[in-house]
Every structure is written in C-alpha cells, then in structure tokens.
Amino acid sequence: MKRLILLVLLLIAVSFTGTGAAEAPPGQIAISPSMVELAIENKPVNGSIRMQNLKKEPVSVKVELYNWTLDEQNHVKLIPGDAQSLDRWMLVSPVSFTIDPGASQVIRYSVRPSVKPEPGEHRAMIYLSEQSPEAVKKESGAVQVLFRYGMAVYGYSGSKHESAELTSITFDKASSSIKVLVRNSGNVHTRLTGNYTVWKAGTFPGFKVMREMNDNPKANPTPAGLIASGTLHSTPVLPGHRRTITEKLELPVVREGFVVALSGKIGTQAIEKVFQ
C-alpha cells in the first residue's frame, strides 16, 4: 500500500470571524467563503461554497463532513457526531469532483435538522481534500492527499448567550505574544478580537487616537512614535471551555524601549490594555 502523504494541512476553522473570501491556500486553490455562519431552526437552510483551481493541471477533490471540538492545546479535534451536531444535519453536493485549470466548482450544502435544535451553537467541519491522480483511478488502497482544507461551519439556534470571563491577559516579550485566559460559560463560541499597536516608549497617544487611526487610517496622519499595528484573529473559545489563548503579534525588531497597546473585546467585554 502506498504511504499516506499530507503535503499541506490547512485548518482555518480557528482563524476567521467573518464569512469573506478566503485567501488562496498553498496549492493554488482559492476557496470562498473562509467560514460559514448560519441561523438554523426547523426548516432547511441552503448555501454554497466556491472553489477555483488556479493550477495548470486538473484538481480532483473529495468533500467530507465531520463534527469537531478544540482540545486543550486549541487544536481541532474530530469527534463523533451526535443528534445535535451540525454534521448530522448537513447534505453536500457534489461529494467528489474534478476542476479543470482556471475553472471553478460550486459545492452546495443544505442544513436540515432531524430533531429540534437546542438553543445555542452547533458545529460542523467541511473538509475539501485533493486526491492524487492515482487515487482517482482506483477504488481501493491508500490515498495521497495533496491538500486538505478545513472550513468551519457554525449554526445558531434560538437565543445566543455570550458570557466570557476574562481571568488574565499578559504580554510575553520573548515570544511577542498576547496570552489570555478565558472561561466561556455562554452557548456560543467567543474570541479575542480587536487591534494592537506598538509605540516607542513614552509616545502612546491614548486609546482615542488609536481607535480613530484604526477606524479610518487614510483620513488620519500616522501618529509620531508608531512602530507597528495589526489586527487580532485569535482562536475561538468554545462554549463550556476554559482556555489560554495565545495571539502572536507581528512585531518588527525593536532595539529601543516600546509599549504595546491592545484595544478589543472578548465576548461582550471590552479590553483596553497597555503593556510596558
């Protein structure tokens, strides 16, 4: 049997909060949207995903559905579906296809709850896996996977209750990372969102200026002392979980003193913090 080869494993389940177009992943495949969020009740909900082949050769793809959670290290963990998991309620079509160079394929999905959805969040993961030409020709044997792209699907039913307790938030200069300890007692996932800025020591102008700069960067001149800025895209904390979330910041090499200012929120809780 051929050895299973994973050339690219791309799990974007924990990376995005919106449903905008995904950047082209390694392998020159563009997929949109990057994540799906749905309001579900007892009636069917339909939608679609588009995959574009930017390669110079055909791409054959297999589509799979799974239930999932996050383990203690915040890694995606596939788990068996149950009566309330979204993967049990989803249908996708087609489940396998080949895309010619420069062409695209629409994958349609339909959510049809088989039982009354409980209030809160229901999850599924759609995996789009490229199959090797040899695997396409054979019905048995091992499969070479050239890329595997995981798209998180969140379905919400009834009232969404956001309740996140922020236990601690620190900045580790050695790893250029924000570390947040969060307990989520709500019924939907939560995450740290917002912006950060890096300033020369003694030049931070305050959060009002920082917010104005982030809201409309083209209309406001760059404040003196600004070294870098960026947006937070942290791992979600699932309902019932208590996790330490690490957000690595893109910081330039700074030889002199600097401070990091964080303006964001987790759940409904606003955060404004300056780290010396």
Residues 6+ apart with CB under 8 A from 256: 200, 201
Class for the domain spanning 164-275: mainly beta
Task: Output the CATH code of domain 9-157.
Answer: 2.60.40.10
Tell me whether the CATH fold assigned to 9-157 matches the one assigned to 164-275.
yes
Q: What are the residue boundaries of the structural domains of the chain, listed by start?
A: 9-157, 164-275
Question: Beta strands of 112-257 (E only): which ranges?
Answer: 120-131, 145-157, 164-172, 177-184, 192-200, 226-233, 242-248
Q: What is the pTM of this model?
A: 0.79
CA geometry: angle 58, 59, 60, nearest 5 deg: 125
Can you give the pLDDT at residue 98?
Answer: 96
pLDDT value at residue 10: 38
Positive or negative, the Cα torsion across 11, 17, 23, 29?
positive
| b/e burial code for range 129-157 (CB count within 10 A of at least 16 → b) | bbbbeebeeeeeeebbbbbbbbbbbbbbb
C-alpha atoms less than 13 angstroms from C-alpha of 250 in its C-beta half-sphere: 7
Tell me the per-residue pLDDT of 223-274, one tens digit each, with 9 for 90 and over: 888 988 899 887 899 999 999 999 888 887 766 789 999 999 988 889 999 9
Distance CA(55)–CA(245), nearest Å, equals 36
Give the pLDDT of the chain (276 residues) as one tens digit per residue.
333 333 333 333 333 333 333 333 445 889 999 899 999 987 899 999 999 999 888 999 999 999 999 999 999 999 999 999 999 999 999 999 999 999 999 999 999 999 999 999 999 999 999 988 765 455 555 555 578 899 999 999 999 998 989 999 999 988 889 999 999 999 999 998 999 999 999 999 999 989 888 887 777 678 888 988 899 887 899 999 999 999 888 887 766 789 999 999 988 889 999 998
pLDDT of residue 188: 96
Residue 221 has what pLDDT? Answer: 77
- Residue 83 has a pLDDT of 96
> Would you say 182 and 265 are in contact if contact means Cβ atoms under 8 Å apart?
no
pLDDT score, position 37: 95
> What is the token pair recorded at 202?
């003694």
Report the DSSP beta bridge partners of residue 172. Answer: 177
In this predicted structure, what is the pLDDT of residue 144? 53
